[in-house]
Chain A
């Protein structure tokens, strides 16, 4: 490096000083451009009010046995499903089946609350809302590209890669949950 620079630099000039000026000027310009561009890009990220963690309380007595209520949380649907004993048994029986995204039924609900399945109702494929009770496993069926979920919300067949996601939630009492 040093000798090639020596060849093209006129006698009497210090090549390393010249290099330093170029590098410093470029670095300063890159920094300046970056600091102007970043706000222009980052403005598209969720704004403060979107981020303000919205939480939601929901009265479970509205959900009848074997049915589901869909509520909206952070712009997304959340399924609150009250499973029948048969549906729970079916989900448990499949704990060791050949699952694409392995999970035990016990990890899909809160301890001692096997009847309450609370999931984010957006298909892990491309985000459509799966329909209650459909599909080959009686959980949900996504009409968009044909994903089947079982009664624990696990993906069993179709293009979706993951089980339906669990939102953060806690039981405030036997009949009340707080989501978020």
Chain B
């Protein structure tokens, strides 16, 4: 993409190294001289923020692993030991626990950004799919991490999620037994989850490298969805993108700190401070907020296998997204109709999240009662059914059909032209 390298080693040592391992050149070409579209907005800063999140989780995680004991008799107490006795342990654990939420928040922003600006479309399909792989690995990592403190939510969350795999006919039971290493979630399960929770972030780091590599082959997309045509359309990564990313990271870290220092348990669940008890399920079991939309889809279906398939399908559909969208125009900036459907989709995800946190039979609103006293109105199962239907319809119906029937606005010739149009519009 960037064409030939403009790096020139200045000292004797860097010249010597450059002809043996051109690693400084690689860094220079990727993060200093790399041309970025000059119209990138703040939605484009989440990539850098995500790298920061991954590093934060790895550093705090390795420290936690020095004090944590992966055994059913000690896990809960070892986390309390980290909180009370280990020097700065409370800080490190709160950064790690809230860091998972911040990480998932950033990845959702990053993904909605990609959806809005059409960043998954040719030639960026592989880039998008690698992103989906990272997202899957993140969810698996966060799920297993949440099991480690071995509180009530840890335990019963693990029971419910692992039992999902038992829904598959014939092989289901052997799979759960294999995963548990026993006949229930127990010590072998905790032990292997610890091992995998340690491993997976490093797998994520590996896929991130592929993701960035693919990014640097195709070049970045941008809010106009038009590829850079001339030098006029780009600016060098440093200082433009570095400073913008840096500023966004500072804002992000402020939000992060508000949680860590003032609301460290806002995103957790009080029941997870009760040691796991396999004989009693908490009255209201909910996953972490970032899984709630999928949990709502799971519960929308009255059938066990159907619910599990639909839930996995909700993530699976993201992988084939590049081939579902038929529009020639990338950015929704020039697709007014598609924009309406997109914002409806964002709203649907939020509604699904809301449903996932409520009991299925609770009422969203009530208009009366039957003779036997049953409420009439909309309950959360039905709300999640409606929302789940739109979730899938957005990908499977709206995307393929709309691209063929809509009339997009005129797309400017280049990034520079799009910026001039933009400011002309604003002025008059």
Contact = CB atoms under 8 A, between A and B. Distances in A.
A129 B163 contact: no
A50 interface: yes
B159 A75 contact: no
A75 B281 contact: no
Nearest to A121: B279
A35 to B, nearest CB: 18
Given A126-B160, A127-B159, A75 B185 contact: yes
Contacts of B283: 131, 143
Residue with the highest number of chain A CB atoms closer than 10 Å, among B156, B160, B188, B281: B281
B183 A75 contact: yes
A42 to B, nearest CB: 8
A129 B282 CA distance: 9
B308 to A, nearest CB: 9
B177 A46 contact: yes
B389 to A, nearest CB: 18
A contact face: mostly helix, strand, loop, or mixed:
loop
Given A146-B360, A159-B304, A72 B279 contact: yes
A145 interface: yes
B160 A127 contact: yes
Interface in A107-135: 121-122, 125-131
A178 interface: no
A144 B279 contact: no
Interface string B162-204: 1110100000000001111111111010001000000000000
Interface in B227-258: none
A45 B181 contact: yes
Contacts of A131: 281, 283
A22 B282 CA distance: 59
B159 A128 contact: yes
Contacts of A130: 281
Interface in B260-317: 278-285, 299, 301-304, 307
B81 to A, nearest CB: 25
Interface size class of B (residues with CB under 8 A): 35 or more
Interface in A65-96: 70, 72, 74-77
Contact of A77 (B161, B162, B279, B284): B279
A44 B159 CA distance: 17
B304 A128 contact: no
Contact of A76 (B184, B282, B284): B184
B181 A125 contact: no
A98 to B, nearest CB: 15
A45 B180 CA distance: 8
Interface in A25-79: 41, 44-47, 50, 70, 72, 74-77
B211 to A, nearest CB: 28
B132 interface: no
A76 B183 contact: yes
Nearest to B284: A143
Nearest to B72: A75
B361 interface: yes
A138 interface: no
Nearest to A43: B181
5 contacts: A46-B181, A46-B188, A121-B279, A128-B160, A159-B304
Interface of B: 156, 159-164, 166, 177-186, 188, 192, 278-285, 299, 301-304, 307, 359-361
Given A76-B278, A127-B163, A128-B159, 10 more contacts: A41-B178, A46-B180, A46-B181, A46-B183, A50-B188, A121-B279, A125-B304, A128-B156, A143-B283, A145-B360
Interface of A: 41, 44-47, 50, 70, 72, 74-77, 121-122, 125-131, 142-146, 159-161
